[in-house]
Amino acid sequence: IEVIQLVMVAVKTASTDSSPYVRKTAAQCMTKVYAVDPDQFFELRSLLLKLMSDHEVPVVGGAVLAFHHLCVVRPPKAPAEAISQGSSASDGAAGSGPLEPDAVVRLQLALLHPHFRRLCQDVLLMDPWAQQCCIDVLLRYCRLFFAGPDRKSADQAAADGQDGGDKAPAKSEDFQSLLKSLRLLLSSSSRGVTLAAAVALCYLSPLEELGHVTMPLLRCLRQAPAESAQALLASLMPIVEARPDLIRSSIREFFVQSFDFDAVKELKLKILEGLVDETNVQMVLRELQAYVCWQSHPEFVARAVKTIAHVALKISSVTDSCLRGLVKMLDSKCETLSCEAVVALRALLQRRRQTSDSGLGS
């Protein structure tokens, strides 16, 4: 404990040093101090909030990075009384027992009210690591304290059990400043920053403005190493589900390669399934038929057959051709392929029977 006290004195001294690099390093050291002694949380947080008001952007970036670790990634497991005494924004939110982790994070993010506008501007000038953490902090802040871009009316929100009456409107000047900064960060040379900005825009932008996100993500997907492809594809899934028309013209980007990881293959098949429509269904089916021949990868073959069935269920004009193709697969020497073909045929025939029965009933 005595050593920790000496370290804290050194950190406090360094945080007021005349050199911005020393102050930045002091902020980054606070994560190590917190890891050794979590009881120093409130004092460390106070120092970080002061450093966020620093006139040097690198110092602000270091402070945000440390704040993200202390208050978002590993928030303290303290009783409600301790958190409420240490946070000026509790306003009676604390009870008698321990707070839930989400409530603790909310109390910490509320402390950023005086710094939000500054962070929206400085995020453009931070180093890539600090930019990623700052984007995550600002995203969480906006989701807590701003109304959604496509927010429902108060009556609808109440009917859905959503409490957003105390949230600022999404059209505020500060919120629009953040969106502007995030759009600029889509052109970052760092794929991590581009991905973080794209994910934030997916959550914060109205649906009609998601077109800004797709091309930077596709650019990153082309340039990314194999181990980064999964994260990029996962970030594209919400866009595929919400606005498939924005990405449909680039559907070839999601054709599976033999060297893709299993998780990447799975995500690409899901994206193909979400993007397929009448205009490209024949091209997608030809691609899926090629995947069926990869019998050295039985799990992927099974997933490809399931995708064929889903396409047939989604687009009725190709159901008959898919049925004929699945019947041919029954004679395959690959046990996995023939078994999945049986399951797919049963699903398609059941759907056809239900459709015909409903037609007779009407």
pLDDT of residue 104: 79
Q: What is the CA radius of gyration of the chain?
A: 26
Q: In whole angstroms, what is the distance from residue 22 CA to residue 37 CA?
A: 22
pLDDT of residue 78: 56
What is the residue whose two structure tokens read 């999404």?
A: 170
Helix (H) or strand (E) holding 21: helix 20-36
Positions of the chain with pLDDT lower than 50, given as ranges? 79-82, 84-85, 88-96, 151-162, 164-165, 360-362
The per-residue pLDDT for range 71-96, each reduced to its tens digit, is 999 888 754 444 544 554 434 444 44
pLDDT of residue 101: 61
pLDDT of residue 93: 42
Q: What share of the chain is helix, strand, coil (3-state, %, to 5)?
A: 75, 0, 25
Token pair recorded at residue 72? 């978002």
Is there a contact between 52 and 68 (Cβ–Cβ < 8 Å)?
no
pLDDT of residue 358: 58
What is the residue whose two structure tokens read 């979400």?
A: 274
The per-residue pLDDT for range 222-278, each reduced to its tens digit, is 888 888 888 889 888 888 888 888 889 899 999 999 888 999 999 999 999 999 999
Nearest residue to 206 via CA among 241, 171, 232: 171
pLDDT of residue 221: 87
Q: What is the pTM of this model?
A: 0.76
**Three-state DSSP class for residue 295:** coil
